[in-house]
Amino acid sequence: MKSYKSQQKISLVLRYALLTLLAAIWLFPVLWIILASFSSTTTGFVQTFIPQHWTLSNYVNIFQNPLFPYGNWLINTFVIAVLSMIISTIFVLIVSFSLSRLHFKMKKTYMQLALILGMFPGLMSMVSLYYIMKAFNMLNLIGLLLIYVGGAGLGFYIFKGFLDTIPASIDEAAIIDGATKWQLFWHITLPLSKPIIVYTALMAFIGPWLDFLLPMILLGTGSPKNWTVAYGLQNMMTNAKGAAGGYFPQFVAGCIIVAVPITILFIVMQRFYVNGITAGADKG
């Protein structure tokens, strides 16, 4: 008996040791980036890991850099991400409710078609999207927003899976009491779908907030003030003026600023996020 308990303790210690090692490996580059953003060196590299001279100037200078308008990038990205989050969540909510609770012709065909289309990587459509937007003279932030929300309705599978877990008897009881489809949607489905709504909204916000490839293709020929933050930061380091100007500390500070909203959102909405993704995976 003692031998078995000893083996359990050793196994537990080894597991925690492995988890601690993995956490340290994962956190090291994150901590290094945070420390580099407070470094006063011209390159931002912290040779002693902890900066010898601490400064907040990198966070101030990135908003005052005339070559790279970080403030404009941040505002552009925030507006696009928020609008995309709202519109995409509404689209997904409507499509998922229709497929989960309503019965109509071609329903199964639509779901199969949406599944097939979802298997193709978005990279395949980038070139065609560029020429379509160029033909409509929409190589701008509005065109970028339209692309983000254009295919939102196809991402209904997790949301629909969550709605399928809500017992149909609740709907039947409401219909017997005289509830309409709209009342069923507004007073029953929405309150019970809070976790998956939060999950869908978070995913719809994170996509535009961190996306680099699509803004690069659509906004690459436009004014730097109309760029998004991911594409702008990339240009800060690849642009000849940026590389020669020693803007690495500002670049790192900009990365930290971008990561803060996402981190706060996940901490605040963690409970809803976990509930939404786990319940939505039960059925499909």
Q: Does 281 score more than 50 pLDDT?
A: no
Task: Give me the amino acid identity at 73.
Answer: W
Do the beta carbons of residue 42 and residue 246 sit within 8 Å?
A: yes
> For a pLDDT cut of 70, what percent of the chain falls above it?
89
What is the SS3 assignment for 54? strand
What is the SS3 assignment for 102? coil
The pLDDT score that the predictor gives to residue 49 is 63
List, for residues 102-160, the tens digit of each pLDDT value: 888 888 888 888 888 777 777 778 888 888 999 999 889 999 999 999 878 778 888 88
Do the beta carbons of residue 143 and residue 133 sit within 8 Å?
A: yes
The pLDDT score that the predictor gives to residue 19 is 92
Q: Does 280 score more than 80 pLDDT?
A: no
Single out the residue of 199, 177, 202, 198 nearest to residue 188, CA to CA: 177
- How many other CB atoms are found less than 10 A from the CB of residue 280? 24
**Cα 128-130-132 angle, rounded to 5 deg:** 70
Single out the residue of 238, 265, 233 nearest to residue 62, CA to CA: 233
Q: What is the largest CA-CA distance in the chain?
A: 76
Q: Report d(CA 188, CA 225) in Å as an integer.
A: 44
Q: Report d(CA 200, CA 162) in Å as an integer.
A: 11
The pLDDT score that the predictor gives to residue 274 is 59
DSSP tag of 47: T
This prediction's pTM: 0.82
User: Which of 66-80, 119-133, 201-215, 247-261 bottoms out in mean pLDDT, i.e. has the lowest?
Assistant: 119-133
- How many other CB atoms are found less than 10 A from the CB of residue 175? 13
Map tokens 């199969």 to a residue: 112
Q: Quickly state the pLDDT bin for 89 (edges 50, 70, 90).
A: very high
Q: Report d(CA 6, CA 3) in Å as an integer.
A: 5
Please indicate whether residue 35 or residue 122 has the higher confidence score (pLDDT): 35
Query: And the tokens for 176?
Result: 């017997």
**What is the arithmetic mean of pLDDT over 267-281?**
60
- For the chain, the residue count is 284
Q: Report d(CA 196, CA 191) in Å as an integer.
A: 11
Q: Where are the domains of the chain?
A: 2-57, 60-279
**What is the arithmetic mean of pLDDT over 9-31?**
88
Q: Quickly state the pLDDT bin for 283 (edges 50, 70, 90).
A: very low
**What is the arithmetic mean of pLDDT over 248-272?**
82
Q: Does 46 score more than 70 pLDDT?
A: no
**What is the arithmetic mean of pLDDT over 73-77?**
94
What is the SS3 assignment for 39? strand
Backbone angles phi, psi at 257, to 5 degrees: -65, -40
**What is the arithmetic mean of pLDDT over 256-273?**
80
Q: Does 67 score more than 50 pLDDT?
A: yes
> For a pLDDT cut of 90, what percent of the chain falls above it?
19
Q: Does 176 score more than 90 pLDDT?
A: no
Rg (CA), the chain: 24
C-alpha 94 chain-centroid distance:
21
Q: Report d(CA 254, CA 36) in Å as an integer.
A: 12
Q: Quickly state the pLDDT bin for 284 (edges 50, 70, 90).
A: very low
The pLDDT score that the predictor gives to residue 1 is 56
Backbone angles phi, psi at 140, to 5 degrees: -150, -170
Single out the residue of 210, 226, 213 nearest to residue 259, CA to CA: 210
The pLDDT score that the predictor gives to residue 164 is 84
Q: Report d(CA 142, CA 134) in Å as an integer.
A: 12
Q: Quickly state the pLDDT bin for 272 (edges 50, 70, 90).
A: low
- For domain 60-279, the question of CATH label 3.40.50.720 is answered with no
